[in-house]
Structure 1
């Protein structure tokens, strides 16, 4: 009854939405959709109970629900009937979960579409497959531009050579490694404690010179100057594509970006920024901003940052770090959950930070989800010119499926390994021995990878046909060669921004 008190207020809206949307199952399991159809047939009922049999006289299957749900829905004193309110809440709760996991799809939707229907046709895949395999390093290109065969033998040889080279490099570099120690008796690795070195005098002098030469900038001034130089503000505008009906679009978009980016809120910001109203800021944020446009503006800033000389001194953009940060949210937010780890409600802002010290992409996800999924998601949705090939993650990146997809998608996954002292290290072959790290692999001849099993599993995977294409190749091309998001064709709003280097501020403060 507590849950119905929350859903009951929106009961009519939820039934109207279920009537207008066309749901379809992505597997052979239709139990939730059949239960939804039964609830729709009795949507106008006002009694406490409804029949438990469908139009064909069969009992509605609610085995998808938990035992506690079934106890609440089925009244033992009334055989063949459901408790209407509990049944409706159970169905809509299960439907939301099925949509979240992808077991139920919405026809015509993008976010909740059937993923199996979004794969490319096999004819299109064959045209792009050769260049893709060469690009990600799964195949080599011949002298005449032809791609070598990607079969079980080549795949086995590739991963075997990769392991052999990595183990040989670790053995050769072990004498020069001052931090890692491998016990010659047990083979257990350990790390020496790192000693902190005091800041060198040259570093202090450099810090002093930087502070003396770099003028102090306000956050609002930085936002205004980057908007003037990069013109990222021109990405925003009405959804219709018409010119914005604002007195000064540059000022409006810069202030709105500052207010929303600092999580201040429009009406709180209006109390501290003269010349603007809370209604104006809220209207601009709701009518002229969207997630798609924000990502386009972020890509413009990342591209401009990558061209700076100082960013190229920090890194080349091939390495990225992925991690999440807890963010406080309102309790009535759709993504808000109470986190056991953080001890308070909110969500996770999952960032991809480049080695050039700029954020490439950010996802906002619920607490408790497996963050490794969004490692690949962030790379695929990164539309900037910076294309990382190595990803460093925390322990949540230690996932076998993500390791496999990382290999197929052509990037190196480098997570922080949990319980790494208890891991089993495998030799490339029974006869392989090492001078310095041999104890790490246990007794000679043991802990050897079964390459024949990998090769046979590869052949079985290629024997399975999905829509006329190989299953393994589909796994790689589903993400890398999938349909790109359509860019919104829209007119850029025109305006004449004021020069932020003039004595008069670019933004009225």
Structure 2
């Protein structure tokens, strides 16, 4: 049995005896671990034309044009230079935090003791009063326009952006007029987007469309490609008409997963261990002014970090995300590493911030942070 490249050195004693005989169970474990490291971590193994690990993701000219790819990432080719720069940033951040703790300007962040152990305490900010100008603006909008129907907003958005036209039918021929098709598609999108359902939309309202006609349009036009194209056109049009004087700038996003109950007979349904029930998980990505730029279905057991990174790289708009807010499940050490390499700030809401440790940039340094000494770890990042 081949041992080189399959069985690690520290496993040899457990796998093979002095006579070279191989134990089956530990050897099978090593065989399973080796492809996992090669395929998932180093991408040395993949399935041709597979959707999960596509061959196109591997740059064919990486070795010949290494400088071009590193320049696109904005990273140096020398590993020592990269590590030195990263250590410098960490030292600067710790110095600033130490100074802020000493001056009491951390905005409610303090280092205290809990059960005899160091603890980072983060006090929640106080409730802010609503500005008088905002109250006046809301009152004037309600006086002028009152309550606007959500279907009317969707209709006006379709007239202004024509995002409904960004669709192609899966049928070979379509005889419907543009006005009829636009009306039916708006009703279908409204029913799906509000979770009202096509049947309820068909039996309510005075639009003259039956459930059968709406379901036909749903099956012919509303696939994932068409919906993503419509979403992109609508979002880009929204960004284009925003006045920076009123809306401000800053391409920041927040991401979160949400559980949707589903029938157990659905092929996409999975059992969620935390929520205890059959469901599907949808991972949302919303920019700072409440516009959804990307959504995807994820496995109930998969880490949210991968979904977070995929949304940053493959969202369907021209927006360049520079800050990414997420919860504890959407952040990890690997997630912070990719965020640094891809040049965006990962800013999670850490549930266990109290027991977190601050790492020194390198081992062996003097303890020159008097206010942070108890919570600093001697672990190196080399």
- Specify if TM > 0.5: yes
Superposed, 1:254-269 pairs within 5 Å as 254-269=186-201
Query: Taking structure 2 as the reference length, what is the TM-score of the superposition?
Result: 0.77
Q: Displacement, 1:158?
A: 1.6
Q: Secondary structure at the match of 1:386?
A: coil
2:100 is the counterpart of 1:173: yes
- Match of residue 91 from structure 2: 164
Note the residue ranges of structure 2 that are not aligned, 5 or more in a row: 7-23, 29-39
Superposed, 1:13-52 pairs within 5 Å as none
- Match of residue 269 from structure 2: 336
Query: Taking structure 1 as the reference length, what is the TM-score of the superposition?
Result: 0.59
- Match of residue 181 from structure 2: 249
Provide, for residues 348-371 of structure 1, a one-character-per-residue CA deviation record: whole Å limited to 9, x for no partner. Answer: 221111113211101122433321
| Distance in 1 between residues matched to 2:47 and 2:199, nearest whole Å | 37
Which of 143, 149, 161 is the aligned partner of 1:212? 143
- Match of residue 442 from structure 1: 374
Aligned CA distance change for structure 1 residues 63 and 233 (closer, same or farther; 3 Å)? farther
* Equivalent residues of 1:323, 1:351 under 8 A apart: yes
Aligned CA distance change for structure 1 residues 64 and 236 (closer, same or farther; 3 Å)? farther
Q: Secondary structure at the match of 2:72?
A: helix
Provide, for residues 69-93 of structure 1, a one-character-per-residue CA deviation record: whole Å limited to 9, x for no partner. Answer: xxxxxxxxxxxxxxxxxxxxxxxxx
- Match of residue 79 from structure 2: 152
| Distance in 1 between residues matched to 2:221 and 2:94, nearest whole Å | 54
| Distance in 2 between residues matched to 1:377 and 1:245, nearest whole Å | 39
- Match of residue 32 from structure 2: none
2:196 is the counterpart of 1:196: no
2:309 is the counterpart of 1:368: no
* Equivalent residues of 2:188, 2:218 under 8 A apart: yes
- Match of residue 17 from structure 2: none
**Aligned pair count?**
341
Q: Displacement, 1:380?
A: 1.8
- Match of residue 379 from structure 1: 312
Q: Displacement, 1:376?
A: 0.8
Larger radius of gyration: 1
Provide, for residues 170-194 of structure 1, a one-character-per-residue CA deviation record: whole Å limited to 9, x for no partner. Answer: 2343422341122389642212354
Query: Which range moved further: 352-361 or 270-279?
Result: 270-279
Note the residue ranges of structure 1 that are not aligned, 5 or more in a row: 1-26, 29-60, 66-99, 140-149, 455-509
* Equivalent residues of 1:317, 1:387 under 8 A apart: no
- Match of residue 15 from structure 2: none
| Distance in 2 between residues matched to 1:412 and 1:424, nearest whole Å | 20
| Distance in 2 between residues matched to 1:303 and 1:354, nearest whole Å | 12
* Equivalent residues of 1:424, 1:441 under 8 A apart: no
2:73 is the counterpart of 1:133: yes
* Equivalent residues of 1:189, 1:440 under 8 A apart: no
Superposed, 1:220-239 pairs within 5 Å as 220-239=151-170
CA RMSD, 1 decimal: 3.6
